[in-house]
Structure 1
Amino acid sequence: MLSNSKSLALVLVLVASLGVARAAHGDATWYNPGQGACGATSSSNDLVVALSSSAYAGGAHCFNHITVYYQGKKTDATVVDECPGCKPGDLDLSPGAFSALESLGAGRIQVDWEFA
């Protein structure tokens, strides 16, 4: 019985280390970046993202990278801004990052994302 408990504990540690809890799902829209809440100035071609206020966490994730997944495509983006109007899990991507996943005309897409 003790070996089963140790095996279970090992499995739980391994599952926790996979980072599954860091994955999120939400809507992605696009915006024209400029001076972001992190203090950097970005252009439309830069692969940058604004996180919801809850994910932005007062700037704790400034300049961290995320990977965004959409219908078999993915792109990486750097956190440079906060999106106060976004719901938890939602993202506001630069045109460069959004267009790596879908045409800007789509306007809003459902994505999965995680910190890289």
Structure 2
Amino acid sequence: MSRTALYAFTALLALAAPALSTPVPQGAAVAKRADHSGQATYFYVGLGACGWNSVDSDWVVALDTNSYNGGEHCGKTITMTATGDDGSTTTGSATVVDECPTCGDGSVDLSPSFFQNFKSLDVGTFDMSWSFDS
């Protein structure tokens, strides 16, 4: 590398370094990346594949077989986001309690009450994205 190129690179790095090392202020909202997307459907809950009984008023979900991963995520929560017809977004969190073997990759089966947080049950399905909470 030539001396001129080295000086230019060093100057550029000096200008970029503060931006690269600036921490996120404590309490600042940081958008979480949605790792999965698919269709949301609903099911009437009971004894789930995780071995727990739930009721329809619980905010619980059944993950597609790949995401369920043999029960690895039982008891974890997910955050789901859906966009309404008016462009507004609705978000909610629910606990993984079951597997949905008929769901496509990234799709999730929701308890009726969790589904109603987003849409009316007569809608039947809607597009959404979701990720595991930390």
TM-score (norm 2): 0.72
Segments of 4+ moved more than 4 angstroms: 1-4
1:30-78, CA deviations, whole angstroms, 9 ceiling, x for partnerless residues?
0001100000000110000000000000000000000110121111110
- The percentage of counterpart residues that share the same residue type is 40
Aligned counterpart, 1:104: 121
Long gaps (5+) in structure 2: 1-8, 22-30, 84-88
Please point out which of 55, 63, 76 is paired with 1:64: 76
The Cα RMSD (Å) is 2.2
- Counterparts of 1:70 and 1:43 in 2: how far apart (Å)? 23
Please point out which of 32, 44, 65 is paired with 2:56: 44
- Counterparts of 1:109 and 1:63 in 2: how far apart (Å)? 24
Counterpart mapping for 1:1-116 below 5 A: 20=33, 23-71=35-83, 72-116=89-133
- Counterparts of 1:41 and 1:83 in 2: how far apart (Å)? 16
SS at match of 1:39: coil
- Counterparts of 2:120 and 2:92 in 1: how far apart (Å)? 14
Q: How many residues align?
A: 107
1:19 is displaced (CA, Å) by 6.4
